[in-house]
């Protein structure tokens, strides 16, 4: 059986998280693991997943602990994947997607699917299997209303339209499919803020031509709306912007 310093060193390399299999490989057996849980040296975060000496974990370690509990080909998904990229606030539970039906422990939600191909997954920080941008948006459409989905999509530097269409075609019949279709078909899909979308609606309502470019560089400065032929730039500044300039 390995000495405790070896256990601690392994946990430190794994963001403070250990699996039961890690401990078994180090020579511990079930009873010795139970004794260390009883003594407070180990804390079971999820069934078969432990922290060493304390219960506090970083946000990434919390994701890893849930992912390791789920095992198999599971991936961090839905609002947890969106929050990792900064699109939505961090949810109070960890969302995972798996091909297996599992009874999740407290703090974890498992979304069961028959389709989780490798090209829908990317690995973050070398350990965190996570759905990619397109799959994450489509998954979030199951949980968010259209406005929430639109706000999340606005956080991307560029909406991956072709990839979204391809992934959506691979997942027919998904709950929330209408919201992703609306996102794709919206004539304002490329706008980056609610104010820009309001401007496009204004153009439609009053017969104003749409700008030839949005969020493009003009003379070294980023312009909200550009009418190239007319050599015109329209800046869409909200009330807060003007209040700051007045100070």
Residue 193 pLDDT level (bands cut at 50, 70, 90): low
**Phi, psi dihedral angles at 72 (to 5 degrees):** 60, -140
Best CA proximity match to 214, nearest among 204, 202, 226: 226
Among 26-40, 216-230, 231-245, name the one with the lowest average pLDDT. 231-245
End-to-end CA distance of the chain: 67
Please, are residues 149 and 107 in contact by the beta-carbon 8 Å criterion?
no
pLDDT in tens, 114-128: 999 999 999 999 999
**What is the C-alpha to C-alpha distance for residues 101 and 97, in angstroms, rounded to an integer?**
10
pTM of this prediction?
0.77
pLDDT in the model for residue 110: 98
Query: Which residue, among 216, 219, 217, 167, has the nearest Cα to 192 in the 3D structure?
Result: 216
HSE-CB of 215 using CA atoms within 13 angstroms: 10
| Radius of gyration of the CA atoms of the chain, in A | 24
**Given a cut of 50, is residue 243 above it in pLDDT?**
no
Average pLDDT, the chain: 89
Whether the per-residue pLDDT at 32 is higher than 50: the answer is: yes
**Which residues, other chains included, contact 43 with Cβ-Cβ below 8 Å and sequence gap of 6+?**
37, 50, 51, 52, 53, 54, 55
What is the reported pLDDT for 190? 54
Q: What is the model's pLDDT at position 246?
A: 46
* Residue 191 pLDDT level (bands cut at 50, 70, 90): low
Taking only the tens place, the pLDDT of each residue in 137-187 is: 999 999 999 989 988 887 776 777 889 999 999 999 899 999 999 888 874
pLDDT confidence of residue 244: 36
Q: What per-residue confidence (pLDDT) applies to 194?
A: 66
């Amino acid at each position: 059986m390995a000495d405790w310093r070896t256990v601690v060193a392994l946990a430190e390399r794994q963001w403070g998280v250990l699996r039961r299999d890690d401990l078994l490989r180090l020579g511990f057996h079930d009873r010795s693991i139970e004794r260390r849980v009883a003594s407070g040296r180990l804390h079971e975060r999820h069934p078969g997943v432990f922290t060493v000496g304390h219960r506090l974990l970083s946000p990434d370690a919390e994701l890893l602990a849930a992912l390791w509990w789920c095992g198999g080909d599971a991936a961090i998904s839905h609002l947890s994947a969106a929050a990792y990229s900064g699109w939505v606030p961090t949810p109070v539970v960890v969302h995972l997607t798996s091909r297996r039906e599992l009874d999740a422990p407290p703090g974890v939600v498992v979304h069961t699917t028959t389709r989780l191909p490798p090209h829908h997954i990317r690995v973050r920080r070398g350990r965190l299997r996570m759905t990619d941008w397109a799959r994450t948006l489509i998954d979030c459409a199951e949980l968010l209303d259209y406005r929430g989905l639109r706000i999340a999509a606005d956080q991307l530097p560029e909406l991956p339209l072709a990839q979204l269409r391809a992934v959506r075609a691979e997942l027919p019949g998904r709950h929330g499919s209408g919201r992703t279709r609306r996102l794709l078909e919206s004539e304002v899909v490329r706008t980056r803020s609610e104010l820009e979308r309001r401007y496009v609606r204004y153009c439609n309502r009053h017969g104003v031509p749409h700008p030839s470019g949005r969020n493009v560089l003009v003379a070294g400065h980023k312009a909200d709306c550009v009418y190239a032929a007319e050599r015109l730039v329209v800046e869409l500044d909200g009330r807060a912007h003007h209040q700051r300039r007045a100070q």
